[in-house]
Structure 1
Amino acid sequence: MKKLLVLFFCVAGSLVARAQTADEVIDKYFAQTGGKDKWMAIKSMKATGKAKVQGMELPLTMLQKAPNKMKATATFQGMSFIQPCFDGSTGWNTNQMTMKPEKMAAEDSENMKDEAMLEDPFLNYAAKGYKVELQGKETIEGTECHKMKLTRKPTMVDGKAEENVAYYFFSVADNVPIMSRTIAKKGPAKGTPVETYMSDYQEVAGGIFMPFTVTTKTNGKEMMSMVMDKYETNVAIDDAEFAFPKQ
C-alpha cells in the first residue's frame, strides 16, 4: 500500500511539474486574452489616455503599425511633443528644450527595429529568434506569479552587442503578466532595474484584452504611469504619421 501511495504522489508530482512549462504558461496567457488568432489579426493600434510624470498629467496618443512603426505623442501647455517615434528604420524625438524634432543615434534606431514591434513578444517567439525560460515562481505585490525569462535579439550598447533579457511575471490566478523587469542599458539610470507594472486588463476592439494602467518604476521609485481611456485596433494609419518632419 505504501509503495502504491509513493507511486501515486510521484506521478502526481510529475504531472504538476510537467504542467509548469513555459509554453503552457504562454498558451494560457493568449487564451485568457482573446486567443492567438485574434492577436495575430491585429495590424495596427491606436491608444489614447493620459500620462502622469512628475506630478503632471499629459494627454497621450500612441500609434503602432505592423511590423514595427510606432509613435507616442504627448501634449503639454498646448504644445505637442513626440517621445519617441520610429518609422521602421529611423527613430526620432522632439527635443524638449528647442521643441524641434531630432533623429536618434544610428545605434538607437537599430535597437528600435526590434523594440518597436507591434506583435506581442511571446507570440511566435521562436520564429522571432527569441528564447523563453520558466524560472519558477515569485510573489509580486502579494500575487503569486510564474517568472518567465525572455531573451530577445541582442541590443547594441556603445558599439557592442549585449544580451537583451527581460523577466515577465504572469499571475498564476489570472494568467496575465502583471510586471516586467529589465536593466537599463543607457542613460542616467544605466545599470538600474526598471520595472513595468500592468493592471486593469479590459477587452478592447478586436476581442483582445489590454492593460489600461501601466506604471514604470526605477529602483522602486515611480517614474511614469499611463492610464488609457481607449484602444482601437486595425485602424487606418498613414505611414506619413511616422516620418521625420521635413525641416
Structure 2
Amino acid sequence: MKLAKILMPALLIGFSSLAHATDADEIISTYHENIGGEDALKAMKGIKIVAEVSQGPMKFPLEIVQQSSGKQYTKATVQGQEIMQGVFDGETLWSTNFMTMKAEKAQTEETENMKLNMNDFPDSLMDYAEKGYQAELMGTESVDGEDTYKVKLVKEPITVEGEEIPSIEYYYFDAESMVLVMMESDIHSGPMKGQVQQIKMSDYQEVDGIYFPFAMTQGIKGQPAATSPLVINEIELNPTVDDSVFAFPAAQ
C-alpha cells in the first residue's frame, strides 16, 4: 500500500485546533475530526500494522491485527520463530509461552477483562458516553516540553484477584495540533504491578484518509531504560484475515 509520507509540521497546516479547550468532549471531538473524522473511523472494520520493536540492541518484526469485532493478535518473529501474543477470538484469550513455545490460555479474569474492550475499536474515546464511560478535562500538562491537554477517561471496572477496581486511562493531546501524543494507565498485575504504563506517539502519517502515528514508544513512567521504541512500516485498513488465526490451536 502506498503511504503518504506527511510529517507533523505539514500535517498541522490542515488541522483545526483549539486555542482554549473548554471540556473533554470538545477535545475528543476535535481530535477525531483532525485524524480523519468520526464517519471514516467508524467505517473501519479492522487494521493491520507491520512494525519493528527495539528491546535494547535487538529488533523484532511485529504484525498487529485488530478488528471491530474485538478479535486481535500480535505476532512477533524472534530468531525465525513466530510468537503469538494477546490473541483473542471474542471468547478465548491466549499467547505463546516463551519457555515452552506452546499456546496457553489466559486466566479467566484476564479473559473477562479483555471482553470489556470489545467495543473499544478504533479507540476507547469513540462514543465514550454511549459506552457508559466518563471523560474529564484535567487541565494542561507539559509533555517533552510541549503543552498538552490532559483528559481522564474512566471505563468499566476490571477484576483483579477477585476484586473490582477502577479502569482509568489518561490521554494527552497536543495543544496546537490536537492529536494524541501520550497515553498513561496503571499496571494492575505482573512484575510491573503498581507502575504506570506510558505510551508516546509521533510522526503522524496519512493512510487512506486517516492519520496514524508511525512512531511510538512504550515503557514505564520514570524509567527511560525500560522504554521500547516501535517504528511502524506499513498500515493496512480493513485487511482480509482468516478467522482461524485467532483460534486457540486444537493440537500442539
Structure-1-length-normalised TM-score: 0.89
**Which residue does the alignment assign to 1:214?**
216
**Which residue does the alignment assign to 2:183?**
180
Deviation at 1:136, TM superposition (A): 0.7
Deviation at 1:19, TM superposition (A): 4.3
**Which residue does the alignment assign to 2:231?**
227
Q: In the aligned structure 1, how far is the partner of 2:77 from the partner of 2:20?
A: 49
Deviation at 1:17, TM superposition (A): 10
State the SS of the aligned residue for 2:141.
Answer: strand
Structure 1 stretches of 4+ moved >3 Å: 16-19
Deviation at 1:225, TM superposition (A): 2.1
**Which residue does the alignment assign to 2:242?**
238
Q: In the aligned structure 1, how far is the partner of 2:113 from the partner of 2:56?
A: 27
Contact 2:19 2:175 in 1 (8 A): no
**Which residue does the alignment assign to 1:13?**
none
More relative contact order, 1 or 2 (CA 8 Å, 6+ apart): 2
Matched, 1:166 2:169: yes
Contact 2:19 2:176 in 1 (8 A): no
Matches within 5 A, 1:126-137: 126-137=129-140
- Unmatched runs of 5 consecutive residues or more in structure 2: 1-17
Matched, 1:201 2:180: no
Aligned-residue identity in percent = 39
How many residues of Structure 1 are paired with residues of Structure 2 in the alignment? 231
AA matched with 2:57:
G
Deviations 1:200-242 (A, max 9, x none): 111113x111111111121322332211111111122222111
State the SS of the aligned residue for 2:198.
Answer: strand
Matched, 1:114 2:116: yes
Contact 2:95 2:104 in 1 (8 A): yes
1:21 and 1:52, CA in 2 relative to 1: closer, same or farther beyond 3 A?
A: same
Structure-2-length-normalised TM-score: 0.88
AA matched with 2:134:
K
Q: In the aligned structure 2, how far is the partner of 1:53 from the partner of 1:90?
A: 28
Contact 1:181 1:195 in 2 (8 A): yes
Q: In the aligned structure 2, how far is the partner of 1:138 from the partner of 1:19?
A: 13
Contact 2:65 2:72 in 1 (8 A): yes
Deviation at 1:168, TM superposition (A): 0.7
**Which residue does the alignment assign to 1:49?**
51
Deviation at 1:18, TM superposition (A): 8.1
Q: In the aligned structure 2, how far is the partner of 1:59 from the partner of 1:119?
A: 23
**Which residue does the alignment assign to 1:22?**
24
